[in-house]
Amino acid sequence: MIGGGQGAFIGNVHRIAARIDGLYELVCGAFSSNAERSKASGLVLGLPANRVYSSYTELIEKEKQLPEDERVQVISIVTPNHVHFAPTKLALANGFHVVLDKPMTFSLQEAKELKKVVEASGKLFCLTHTYTGYPMVKEAKQFIASGKLGKVRKVYVEYPQGWLSTFIEGTDNKQASWRTDPTQSGIAGAMGDIGTHAFNLMEYVSGLQVTKLCADINIVVDGRKLDDDGAVLLKLSGHASAVLMATQIAAGEENNVKIRVYAENGGLEWQQSDANTLQVKWLDKPTEIWRAGSGYVSSFAQHNTRTPAGHPEGYLEAFANLYKNFALCVQAGIDNKQPEPEWLDYPGIEEGVRGMAFIEHVIASGKTDNKWTDFVI
């Protein structure tokens, strides 16, 4: 692991997710840009001192020198956005598979270059857009793809948070400090942090891609440097349209990301607060309630469910599904076997590039009086 040391939130989430299915072992790390903090973090995690490194460059250089049966196979990178590109590029170029936290890079230019690096390396790459790991989100995608609802016409996706309703970056809140700092987070705040999740969820479930967008981007809290609120109108392939909302100043809200998809014959609705449920709404008959863990769901939903129906699985398990599927694909490569379709269903480089394009187009659109911005990569 690179990043995710003491005081970091997402690093421990990644470590828990990786451990859930017993497919990973944490063997080394460079947990902080501060060498002493990295060493201290590694000690707490039970790693031997010689496998805890003072920098990501040292980690990659020394791990590469170890025998193949000892060196790390997958490097998980959980640093702030401005330290995504360089360690990912170095890890891939030196023969390691990579799991990377989102958004993929600091800029679209970096994302395009990283795509070339991934393709040249021959290594596997996973981007942790967590919400696509939920079983009933996968069921929604399969339901739309089956054509049962007909052609998609309209998508609504929203991600409301309230944790940045005040200027907490002015305190010692580490998460708020870097996420609202343009030198670390990039050109977007809320739209980069959670807007990319909403965007990815919308394209994943609907099977459609954004072609144009029109954004209203706001900085609500005085003194803040990056957007904390926004809404976007979107044109999708197939003549569909969408509305996306992402805000971090909705006081009282937590993380209830929600999506609704409407097609010719009916619609679907899923939200994280009731993640085991998918509502299927028909034009000419009553709404159906589909539940995770049930025998009637698709193989994709079944493969990503660990407990019988009625036992809630949540954020950590969805996160773990990305790690599990990635591990199964890595192992298939080692065994010279073809991965199953269900294993290949995790976000990768294409989703990362489109996510960075979303950020740049949304911010550009928000700064102009022109109504629509073409979505060009």
In order of their start, the domains of the chain are 10-123 (3.40.50.720), 135-308+349-366 (3.30.360.10)
As a whole number, mean pLDDT of residues 311-335 equals 97
The count of C-alpha atoms lying within 13 angstroms of the C-alpha of 322, restricted to the half-sphere facing its C-beta, is: 30
Confidence of residue 97 (pLDDT cuts 50, 70, 90): very high
Alpha carbons 82 and 235: distance in angstroms, whole number: 30
Of 63, 58, 74, 59, whose CA–CA distance to 26 is shortest?
74
Task: Say yes or no to pLDDT of 9 above 90.
Answer: no
Q: For the segment 101-116, what is each residue's pLDDT rounded down to a tens digit? A: 999 999 999 999 999 9
Confidence of residue 158 (pLDDT cuts 50, 70, 90): very high
Percent of the chain with pLDDT over 90: 97
Three-state SS sequence of 201-226:
HHHHHHCCCEEEEEEEEECCCCCCCC
Of 245, 243, 272, 247, whose CA–CA distance to 257 is shortest?
272
Task: Say yes or no to pLDDT of 315 above 90.
Answer: yes
Q: For the segment 24-49, what is each residue's pLDDT rounded down to a tens digit? A: 999 999 999 999 999 999 999 999 99
Alpha carbons 347 and 301: distance in angstroms, whole number: 16
As a whole number, mean pLDDT of residues 209-214 equals 98
Q: How far is CA 46 from the centre of its chain?
A: 28
Given this model, what pLDDT does residue 254 score?
96
- Helix (H/G/I), strand (E/B), else coil: 348: coil
Given this model, what pLDDT does residue 370 score?
87
Confidence of residue 223 (pLDDT cuts 50, 70, 90): very high
Helices 108-121 and 349-366, axial angle in degrees (round to 10):
170
Burial status of residue 322 (CB atoms within 10 A of its CB: 0-12, 13-18, 19 or more): buried
Given this model, what pLDDT does residue 8 score?
86
Helices 85-93 and 56-65, axial angle in degrees (round to 10):
10
As a whole number, mean pLDDT of residues 339-349 equals 98
**What residues have CB less than 8 Å from 341, skipping those under 6 apart?**
300
As a whole number, mean pLDDT of residues 122-147 equals 98
Q: Are 301 and 292 in contact (CB under 8 A)?
A: yes
Given this model, what pLDDT does residue 139 score?
98
* Strand partners of residue 312: none
Task: Say yes or no to pLDDT of 172 above 90.
Answer: no
